[in-house]
Structure 1
Amino acid sequence: MLRLTGTGMLGIAILFIVTLSGVLWGCPAYNVYSKEQSGRAALAEAQSSRQIAVLEARARLESAKMLADAEVVRAEGAARANRILQDSLGGPDGYLRYLQIQAIDAKDASIIYVPTEGGLPLLESSRLAPRAEGGN
């Protein structure tokens, strides 16, 4: 067994006190260091989140611009096709008549009312009204 003398005990006590004071002195410094590091991490995360949001916004903007360009190209194509049809059908009136015929063909109806020159449809009141037979 190891026996400690008075100086050995004094050395151990001094070592214990020095270690304890180092721990007590180091805790506040470590807390400051720890908070500084967590603050830097939070700042880096916020900057990263901001960059991601900016990139997503730019992607949405580019997408919207491309969709708008595609819509303009589609509209220009439709306008050119309408102009070609209109010219081949003898002008705007012929084209409108063509569109009316196309709409009538697309309908699944047994009775179709066509407007007269006055813009009013011819009603079938004479066809649906009871006919007078004989003298009644």
Structure 2
Amino acid sequence: MYGIPKYRVWSAEQKGKAQFAEAEQNRRIKIEEAKANLEAEKLNAQAEIERAKGAAEAIRIENGSITPEYIQYLWVRQQGSLSDKTVIYIPTEANLPILEANRNNKQ
């Protein structure tokens, strides 16, 4: 009967150490996750900067040289990213899209 109280103290101490070790491990995991999130955000910010630089360069190159044909080209290029279920309403004149309706008048 003498050893039971000492065993209970030792057992409680061991449980406390185990809980402390688990809490310490959880803290380290949270720190590593936070570091990974920070790194991901930095990389996302760099990607946004590069996209903005690309857009600025494209605008600089175009510099007022946007023609109706180029706008039509951009519109057609955009259509490739639409899903099959997308419905597009195109205003027409004489059964031709308005972008094409005035083409014959130019000649």
Match of 1:123 among 85, 92, 97: 92
User: Which aligned segments of 4 or more residues in structure 1 are displaced greater than 3 angstroms?
Assistant: 97-100
CA separation of 1:100 and 1:76: change in aligned 2, threshold 3 A: farther
Q: Which residue of 2 aligns with 1:68?
A: 41
Gaps of 5+ in 2: 81-87, 97-107
How far residue 123 of structure 1 moved from its aligned partner, in angstroms, is 2.4
Report 1:33-52 matches (<5 A).
Answer: 33-52=6-25
What's the secondary structure of 2:92's corresponding residue?
coil
How does the TM-score come out when normalised to structure 1? 0.55
Report 1:1-136 matches (<5 A).
Answer: 27=1, 29-91=2-64, 94=66, 101-107=73-79, 113=90, 122-124=91-93, 126-127=94-95
How far residue 102 of structure 1 moved from its aligned partner, in angstroms, is 2.8
Paired positions, count: 87
How far residue 98 of structure 1 moved from its aligned partner, in angstroms, is 5.0
How far residue 112 of structure 1 moved from its aligned partner, in angstroms, is 7.8
* Cα distance in structure 1, aligned partners of 2:73 and 2:37: 37
Q: Which amino acid letter does the alignment assign opposite residue 79 of structure 2?
A: K
How far residue 100 of structure 1 moved from its aligned partner, in angstroms, is 5.8
Gaps of 5+ in 1: 1-26, 114-121, 129-136
Q: Which amino acid letter does the alignment assign opposite residue 44 of structure 1?
A: K
CA separation of 1:99 and 1:80: change in aligned 2, threshold 3 A: farther
Q: Which residue of 2 aligns with 1:117?
A: none
Query: Which of structures 1 and 2 has the larger relative contact order (alpha carbons within 8 angstroms, sep 6+)?
Result: 2
CA separation of 1:100 and 1:37: change in aligned 2, threshold 3 A: farther
* Cα distance in structure 2, aligned partners of 1:68 and 1:100: 36
Aligned-residue CA RMSD in angstroms? Answer: 2.8
How does the TM-score come out when normalised to structure 2? 0.68
